[in-house]
Amino acid sequence: MQVFYERDADNSLIRARKVAVIGYGAQGHAHALNLRDSGVDVVVALHKSARRMADAERDGFAPIAVAEAAASCDVLVMCAPDEVMPDLYAAEIAPHLRAGQTLMFVHGFAYHFGFIKPPADVNVVMVAPKGPGKALREAFTRGGGLPAIVAIAHDTGGGEALAYSYGAAIGCGRAGMIASSFKIETEGDLYCEQVVLCGGLTHLIRTAWEVQIEAGTPPELAYFDCLHEVKLLSDLIHERGIAGMHLAISNTAEYGEYVTGPRIIDAHVKDAMRAALADVQSGKFAQQWMAEHRAGGPNLANMREAAAQHPIETAGRTVRAMLAK
């Protein structure tokens, strides 16, 4: 694994370019603010009806149209949502691209799965921080940073060096910039979101909570057991690794992990994980998600509402209110 740091990057490269951050959501706001604080000439580009317009203005930016940014800026940072990006690119970016510009992706979805196909005379690179925008900004303001995956899909000259210069400017050079590929970043990100970070974890929590409720545990106490303490254990794992976490829990808890964990995460679950990874790698999930978006997101809306109405949310509100007093 090749890892590069601030000392390996030429900070003057990104400071010599005019940079447009397209989008001001989870990632966009952090990239724009970090770039500005690093002395980069940065503008925010938004559609005139964008929900984040007021946020960008509150933070001291004067957003410009995406088409204007594409025509006037040297580096276009693609921070719009995955599902929105292809149409935005086709309508407002592609017609204005010129030779030597750089398309800077912060996640590989739209490019890797072929929803965006840039011309051969522009750089196509990616700097993908390993964490949400809020964490990227908070780490930067503390003097730290998040690791990032850096990938170079097409370099017309100087694109790779510019990517590392950009990564250093948003603070990722403080933690490590890992040379990789669009394929590795995109497929790994989607897979882990689905089977661990979002899909796997939330369904495990809800199901365990439901079983406890069925057995007669009060909802709020089951919430403490199945959800509230997740952060405490995940913090230990984050700081020490799984083996280090074992040193901080009771022998009873550790023994229970070894004898019961394999009963829950068994061979059938591993096969399901392999199937999920196959759907990601084949592009099946990407096509499914884009079709859902084009249809107006009816299934997403229904599933989001069902999740919000799950009774664990009522228990959670009670617990959080208690802890806030």
> What are 128's two structure tokens?
């993908």
203 in active site: no
Tell me how far apart the alpha carbons of residues 321 and 323 are, in angstroms, rounded to a whole number.
5
Q: What is the identity of the amino acid at 311? A: P
pTM of the complete model beyond 0.85? yes
CB 41 within 8 A of CB 64: no
Tens-level pLDDT at each residue, the chain (325 residues): 899 999 999 999 999 999 999 999 989 999 999 999 999 999 999 987 778 899 999 999 999 999 999 999 999 999 999 999 999 999 999 999 999 999 999 999 999 999 999 999 999 999 999 999 999 999 999 999 999 999 999 999 999 999 999 999 999 999 999 999 999 999 999 999 999 999 999 999 999 999 999 999 999 999 999 999 999 999 999 999 999 999 999 999 999 999 999 999 999 999 999 999 999 999 999 999 999 999 999 999 999 999 999 999 999 999 999 998 7
| Distance, C-alpha 230 to centroid of its chain | 20
| Neighbouring residues of 225: CB distance < 8 A, sequence distance ≥ 6 | 212, 217
* Domain residue ranges in the chain: 3-180, 198-324
Annotated catalytic residue within 31, 107, 154, 268: 107
Q: How is residue 157 annotated by DSSP?
A: S
CATH for 3-180 is 3.40.50.720
| Neighbouring residues of 315: CB distance < 8 A, sequence distance ≥ 6 | 209, 219, 220, 222, 223
